[in-house]
Amino acid sequence: MAVVLVITLLATLLGHSTPVWARYASLVVDGESGMELYSRSADTRNYPASLTKIMTLYMAFDALKRGKWTMNTRLKVSRRASRQPQTRLGLKVGQTITVRNAILALVTRSANDVATVVGENMAGTELRFAAIMTKQARKLGMTRTTFRNASGLPDKRQLSTARDMVRLATAIREDFPKYYPYFRTKRFRYKGRVYRNHNKLLGRYAGTEGIKTGYTNASGYNLVASVQRDGKHLIGVVFGGKTGARRDRHMIRLLDRGFSKLTRIAKLPPPPLPRPRPNRQATDAIQLTAAAGRTPGESAVETPAAVIEQASATPTSDRRPPIFLTNLEDKSVGQGAVRNWGIQVGAYSNSGPAQAVILTARVHLGPAIDHGRERVERVRRRHGIIYRALIMGLREVEARDACAILLTKHLPCVPVPADVEVAEISPRQ
């Protein structure tokens, strides 16, 4: 009995001292809007394994874009690089490899020796390169990712999440359209040998355009996939697959589900437009322009500043600060594209929930409305003070699309033009 107790105690102690490995996590998003279609433990930190090489390639593409390297630049192989474990290209110390071949070796073979070569030639040492990778990750919004090497070989401090990998996959596709097609490479010939891409979805799952697999004993089988089909674009991430085949089948099921969900969303009717009510600022603008001897709409460039200046001096307790008084064109989104719309995502009895629901809306909407301006408006009503949660500065189509997305997440949302005062929405608080 005593022996059994000792064995049980030792097993318990060993179990607590052993790190949790190969934790499952997954995420599928609409690659155009950033809308989340499926998520499981998407913010859990896991070992990225060779998904790390996506960032290594991001840095190589950046060097090409900035002119620091060309495709024919030759990278020297150090003794340390030549001794990296499998998988490898088998580079020898003192040898050189072109940037083009290095990219192809990383994409297809997932060569660890080549990853070290890239890091050392760019930053002097692989550890310094990893620090630069981590800094770049922060710039991309990868807040839960830390890199310690260029390859993804085991290091307990090298961690990432499914959500961060979606951000990286999105960024490398958008930032380097000239080089991103390399991820479609199915095979690579080098010194008489042919290396096939580890990503089995290429050629098997319609529309797959990359991007990378990963595996270590600690991480399990990982995959980041990007698929473009029928005008739709999905990005999927799976961490911790039991085998490569099971991981691939699971990814296909998640992507199938994502495409089906996008199709259902596309069939949803647009959210109802709130009925316009007389807007106090618009009325003030008409009165002020008339007092100045102008008709409404005359001297469109000067009028807003004058209205704002005079209206701000009017002491009213419930007047909302003006957002837009004229339909100003935003040249950054093309001639005639007007950002005089927004969305209201709730009305609350205090400002805390209003701020929180804006953040929640931004998480679901992703980078599609990064240009939108957050606003919590304090408005006096007969029954007391309410706080409206708004994201303004959108085009009409952006506002309507955003509400269509949020309504599928059971979040309140009404698209509003800037000159419309929205009826109060009463979600649960």
Residue 332 among the catalytic residues: no
Whether residue 255 is found in the same domain as residue 367: no
Domain CATH number, residue 35:
3.40.710.10
- The predicted model gives 180-184 an average pLDDT of 97
Indicate whether 49 belongs to any domain. Answer: yes
pLDDT of residue 382: 67
Helix (H) or strand (E) segment spanning residue 97: strand 96-98
pLDDT top residue among 419 and 333: 419
Structure tokens given for 327: 């339909």
* Active-site residue identified among 33, 50, 78, 226: 50
Whether residue 226 is found in the same domain as residue 331: no
pLDDT of residue 17: 35
Whether residue 350 is found in the same domain as residue 208: no
Instruction: Among 243, 266, 289, give the residue marking a domain's end.
Output: 266
CA distances from residue 350 to 114, 355, 376 in whole angstroms, order as listed = 56, 9, 10
Mean pLDDT, rounded, of the chain: 80
Q: Which residue, chain included where needed, has tokens 């596709």?
A: 173
Helix, strand and coil in the chain, % to nearest 5:
40, 20, 40
* Active-site residue identified among 33, 78, 82, 110: 110
pLDDT top residue among 143 and 363: 143
Whether residue 262 is found in the same domain as residue 343: no
- The predicted model gives 290-315 an average pLDDT of 36
Instruction: Among 266, 285, 306, give the residue marking a domain's end.
Output: 266
Burial class (CB in 10 A: 0-12, 13-18, 19+), 188: buried
User: Taking every pair of C-alpha atoms in the chain, what is the biggest distance, in angstroms?
Assistant: 101
Whether residue 244 is found in the same domain as residue 338: no
Whether residue 161 is found in the same domain as residue 259: yes
- The predicted model gives 322-340 an average pLDDT of 42
Whether residue 48 is found in the same domain as residue 137: yes
Indicate whether 276 belongs to any domain. Answer: no
pLDDT exceeds 50 at position 183: yes
- The predicted model gives 233-259 an average pLDDT of 97
**Which pLDDT band, with edges at 50, 70 and 90, does 234 fall under?**
very high
Whether residue 330 is found in the same domain as residue 236: no
pLDDT exceeds 70 at position 8: no
**Which pLDDT band, with edges at 50, 70 and 90, does 269 fall under?**
low
Q: Note the pLDDT tens digit of each residue in 33-59.
A: 888 899 999 999 999 999 999 999 999
Instruction: Among 234, 266, 298, give the residue marking a domain's end.
Output: 266
Report the SS3 class of residue 150.
Answer: coil
Indicate whether 214 belongs to any domain. Answer: yes
Indicate whether 284 belongs to any domain. Answer: no
Whether residue 50 is found in the same domain as residue 164: yes
Indicate whether 294 belongs to any domain. Answer: no
pLDDT of residue 312: 35
Residue 53 among the catalytic residues: yes
Domain extent at residue 331: 319-417
Distance CA 224, CA 241 (A): 12
- The predicted model gives 290-313 an average pLDDT of 36
Range in 203-207, 260-264, 353-357, 424-428 with the lowest mean pLDDT? 424-428
Look at the chain and report how many structural domains it folds into: 2
pLDDT of residue 337: 55
Give the global pTM.
Answer: 0.65
**Which pLDDT band, with edges at 50, 70 and 90, does 281 fall under?**
very low
Whether residue 325 is found in the same domain as residue 202: no
Indicate whether 3 belongs to any domain. Answer: no
pLDDT of residue 34: 82
Domain CATH number, residue 391:
3.30.70.1070
Residue 110 among the catalytic residues: yes
Indicate whether 202 belongs to any domain. Answer: yes
Whether residue 124 is found in the same domain as residue 228: yes
The secondary structure of 366-429, three-state, reads: HHHHCCCEEEEEEEEECCEEEEEEEEEEECHHHHHHHHHHHHHCCCCCEEEECCCCCCCCCCCC
Indicate whether 395 belongs to any domain. Answer: yes
Whether residue 74 is found in the same domain as residue 209: yes
pLDDT top residue among 77 and 322: 77
